[in-house]
């Protein structure tokens, strides 16, 4: 930790993985001799750059850009870009570190990386977002490529931003290199199911966990945090599986809709109008309550899907959910549960799906997008969704089998960390001192 001062989220992510690896160290002492853990904690490369751009009033604005290329043992660096005012090196490193193991778990040939900026797209005009993205890519382009590093979206980076970033990459390089970014639009190299994949995947993973207790989504009362890309698609999939999703949130508050959230209306407000969750309550009228500044985890649930941001569900919220009888929790977001909350869920016997397994459907489908780009093909929705489903079942089964193998049955945290780690560690051992 002395090498990386002030990077609290990175420390948290590393600690969580290391705690799971004690059993591996006993079984595979060669990893310690080769200093695999120490090497994995040090990114292969990290780039920090100035992003100057001009706002609509003609004022010069400066943001900071990041790309951390963490580990390429399994394939080109792969991981999203986050645009949010809270972004700093510690956030990007935590996300990049998690991404190594998540990408390994998918079984696809992709390494781990992450990037972003402290730019806040909220309240900015389309023209401002475009100018920012163009400036960001004017530096980033020299570090990325189909065989090198393939960014995608994350918080604050959706289809609009990927479009502006791709346009600028193409303009600078004079190459139509579809495989350089994923999350592209359907008409220009994007993959069907990619927009839905993380949320759908989280629900598919949860469904597999529920099956181990003879349960399913049918009839569950579900609470989802956030109302962005992951949250909306998780709500949609959970409802198609027969659940009633009663609450969702954004950073200003949450809504409770006991009839079940109208996902088409939520999509229209958040994705088309770029509105707030409070607008949903206004449109639905008196049947829906809006709690400004409240914590969505005050709402009872049998299945909880945190899909907003890191450390949003703490020990107080975990105790409340356990008392209310929660059966399963799956992290649609990256590290949304604090270390204490995760421990409480596990001690209480709640089914707990960690983000690096439960939300891996997005990056797995990004890898499917890369496959389609490489073969200049485009697959149907049904075919791609079937692949996603197979991948999520595979990840679930790999986590469960690894947890069993290491004497921790039902511990998906340990299963995900160990299974993800061993594959990367073996590749690093085989590739020499890298």
Positions touching ligand NDP (CB under 6 A) are 153-156, 198, 226-231, 250-252, 307-309, 312, 332-334, 359, 362
Asked whether residue 99 is marked as a ligand-binding residue, the answer is yes
* Widest CA span in the chain: 64
CA-CA-CA-CA dihedral for 64, 68, 69, 70, to nearest 10: 180
Q: Which ranges constitute the DSSP H helices of 192-338?
A: 194-211, 229-240, 263-267, 277-284, 315-323
Three-class SS state of 274: coil
CA distance 73 to 71: 6
Q: Give the number of other Cβ atoms within 10 Å of residue 218's Cβ.
A: 10
Asked whether residue 356 is marked as a ligand-binding residue, the answer is no
Q: How many residues does the chain have?
A: 434
Compare residues 24 and 152 and give the one whose CB is closer to ligand NDP.
Answer: 152
Shortest Å, Cβ 359 to ligand NDP? 4
Compare residues 308 and 329 and give the one whose CB is closer to ligand NDP.
Answer: 308
Compare residues 138 and 250 and give the one whose CB is closer to ligand NDP.
Answer: 250
Three-class SS state of 70: strand
Compare residues 156 and 420 and give the one whose CB is closer to ligand NDP.
Answer: 156
CA distance 130 to 150: 20
Q: Which of 110, 301, 330 is nearest to 200 (CA)?
A: 330
- Residue from 93, 114, 237, 356 carrying the catalytic annotation: 114
Asked whether residue 198 is marked as a ligand-binding residue, the answer is yes
Shortest Å, Cβ 291 to ligand NDP? 13
Q: For residue 303, what are the β-bridge partners?
A: 222, 328
Three-class SS state of 84: coil
Looking from the CA of 159 toward its CB, the CA atoms found within 13 Å total: 18
Shortest Å, Cβ 156 to ligand NDP? 5
Q: Which ranges constitute the DSSP H helices of 49-146?
A: 89-106, 126-140
Shortest Å, Cβ 82 to ligand NDP? 7
Compare residues 228 and 406 and give the one whose CB is closer to ligand NDP.
Answer: 228
Shortest Å, Cβ 331 to ligand NDP? 8
Q: Is 114 a catalytic residue?
A: yes
CA distance 157 to 161: 5
Asked whether residue 366 is marked as a ligand-binding residue, the answer is yes
CA distance 78 to 232: 24
CA distance 429 to 168: 38
Asked whether residue 78 is marked as a ligand-binding residue, the answer is yes
Shortest Å, Cβ 429 to ligand NDP? 28
In contact, 219 and 302? CB cutoff 8 Å:
no
Compare residues 31 and 94 and give the one whose CB is closer to ligand NDP.
Answer: 94
Residue nearest to ligand NDP (CB): 228
Annotated binding site: 78, 99, 102, 153, 198, 229, 366
Residues acting as catalytic residues: 114
Annotated binding site for substrate: 78, 99, 102, 153, 366
Annotated binding site for NAD(+): 198, 229
């Amino acid at each position: 930790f002395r090498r990386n001062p002030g990077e609290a989220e990175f420390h948290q992510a590393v600690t969580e993985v290391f705690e799971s690896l004690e059993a591996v160290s006993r079984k595979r002492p060669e990893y310690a001799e080769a200093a695999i853990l120490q090497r994995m904690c040090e990114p292969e490369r990290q780039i920090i750059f100035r992003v100057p751009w001009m706002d609509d009033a003609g004022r010069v604005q400066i943001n900071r850009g990041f790309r951390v290329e963490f580990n390429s043992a399994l394939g080109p660096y792969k991981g999203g870009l986050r645009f949010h005012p809270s972004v700093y090196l510690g956030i990007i490193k935590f996300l990049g570190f998690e991404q190594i193991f998540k990408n390994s778990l998918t079984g696809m040939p992709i390494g781990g990386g992450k990037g972003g900026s402290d730019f806040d797209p909220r309240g900015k005009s389309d023209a401002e977002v475009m100018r920012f993205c163009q400036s960001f890519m004017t530096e980033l382009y020299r570090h990325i490529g189909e065989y090198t590093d393939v960014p995608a979206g994350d918080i604050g980076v959706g289809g609009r931003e990927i479009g502006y970033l791709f346009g600028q990459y193409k303009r600078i390089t004079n190459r139509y290199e579809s495989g350089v970014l994923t999350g592209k639009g359907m008409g220009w190299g994007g993959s069907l199911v990619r927009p839905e994949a993380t949320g759908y995947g989280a629900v598919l993973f949860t469904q597999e966990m529920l099956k181990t207790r003879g349960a399913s989504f049918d009839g569950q009362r579900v609470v989802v945090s956030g109302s962005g890309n992951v949250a909306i698609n998780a709500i949609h999939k959970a409802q198609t599986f027969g659940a009633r999703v009663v609450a969702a949130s954004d950073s200003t508050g949450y809504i409770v809709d006991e009839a079940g959230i109208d996902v088409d209306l939520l999509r229209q407000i958040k994705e088309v109008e770029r509105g707030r969750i409070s607008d949903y309550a206004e449109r639905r009228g008196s049947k829906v309550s809006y709690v400004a500044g409240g914590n969505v985890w005050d709402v009872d649930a049998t299945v909880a899907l945190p899909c907003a941001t890191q450390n949003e569900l703490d020990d107080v919220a975990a105790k409340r959910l356990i008392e209310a009888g929660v059966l399963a929790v799956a992290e649609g977001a990256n590290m949304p549960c604090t270390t204490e909350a995760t421990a409480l869920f596990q001690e209480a016997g709640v089914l707990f799906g960690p983000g690096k397994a439960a939300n891996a459907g997005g990056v797995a489908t990004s890898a499917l997008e890369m496959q389609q780009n490489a073969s200049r093909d485009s697959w149907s929705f049904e075919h791609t969704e079937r692949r996603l489903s197979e991948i999520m079942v595979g990840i679930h089964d790999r986590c469960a089998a690894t947890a069993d193998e290491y004497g921790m049955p039902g511990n998906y945290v340990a299963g995900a960390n160990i299974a993800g780690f061993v594959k990367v560690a073996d590749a690093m051992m085989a590739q020499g001192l890298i």
